[in-house]
Amino acid sequence: MATQTSAPPKQDLSVEQKIQQFRELFADAPELGKKALENALHELKSQASDLPPAVESAGRVGARLGKVSELTIIVPLAPGGAKRLRGFLRLLRGNLSQGANKVGTLHNMRFVFFDNDTRLLFATAFDGDWDTYIDDFVAKIPDYLDIIDSAWEGWPGIRSPGAKDYLIKHQITAEGWYVAHPDLTVAETHRLKRIGKAVDEFLDKIG
């Protein structure tokens, strides 16, 4: 993990030291990568010296940038689980908007089957802290979760005290996490949409 390195904290490194580390890191990279690194050094220099808000933790697990966090879970599927879940999602035409809108803190969410339907990848972008987010799911759409997650090998049920441990065990924190609008929650985006509409109406009236 990135946190296990014994190197000094990154913010203490000068830009030149960082560039040196980039080069060391790419010493045994494919030729194409080495060349690209040299081409991009001036961009990297400006990136390394002009830092945006740092990526933080979403709480127990996961990365967060500003107000927006990432959750990435990979689970083994129970026998027959892929068939059932695929069929379920197909009947919904891949649309889970009613339930997801209800949670209210979900920016986006995807379900992807891989490794010949033996594993499922579940990835979301959400607002704030991990524990609160999971609690929201539990409080607002517990049945949905169980319908979907019962395809997962060993899923204990969302009301089980072991549910969060199960999720943490299968969650993998992203090494890189980018969000275009890190200061906008789902609720704030909805508010801005309403303001935008009101302004348009206002301008129409006085126009």
Phi/psi-derived region of residue 17, left when phi > 0, alpha when psi is between -120 and 50, beta in every other case: alpha
Q: Would you count residue 72 as binding other proteins (CB under 8 A)?
A: yes
**How many amino acids of this chain bind other proteins (CB under 8 A)?**
101
Q: Would you count residue 11 as binding other proteins (CB under 8 A)?
A: yes
CB atoms within 10 A of CB 137: 22
From 92, 189, 91, 105, select the one nearest 141 (Cα to Cα): 105
* Distance of alpha carbon 79 from alpha carbon 93, whole angstroms: 23
Partnered with residue 122 across adjacent β-strands are: 73, 111
Q: Would you count residue 147 as binding other proteins (CB under 8 A)?
A: yes
x-or-dash string of contact with other proteins, 44-63, rule CB under 8 A:
x-xxx-xxx-xx-------x
**Among 89, 129, 138, 168, interactor with other proteins by CB under 8 A:** 89
Q: Would you count residue 138 as binding other proteins (CB under 8 A)?
A: no
Task: Kindly state the smallest distance separating residue 140's Cβ from other proteins, in Å.
Answer: 10
From 110, 167, 178, 116, select the one nearest 138 (Cα to Cα): 167
Q: Would you count residue 99 as binding other proteins (CB under 8 A)?
A: yes
Q: Would you count residue 23 as binding other proteins (CB under 8 A)?
A: no
- The first and second tokens of residue 29, run together, are 């990279």
Q: In this complex, which beta carbon is closest to other proteins, that of residue 60 or of residue 193? A: 193
Q: Would you count residue 168 as binding other proteins (CB under 8 A)?
A: no
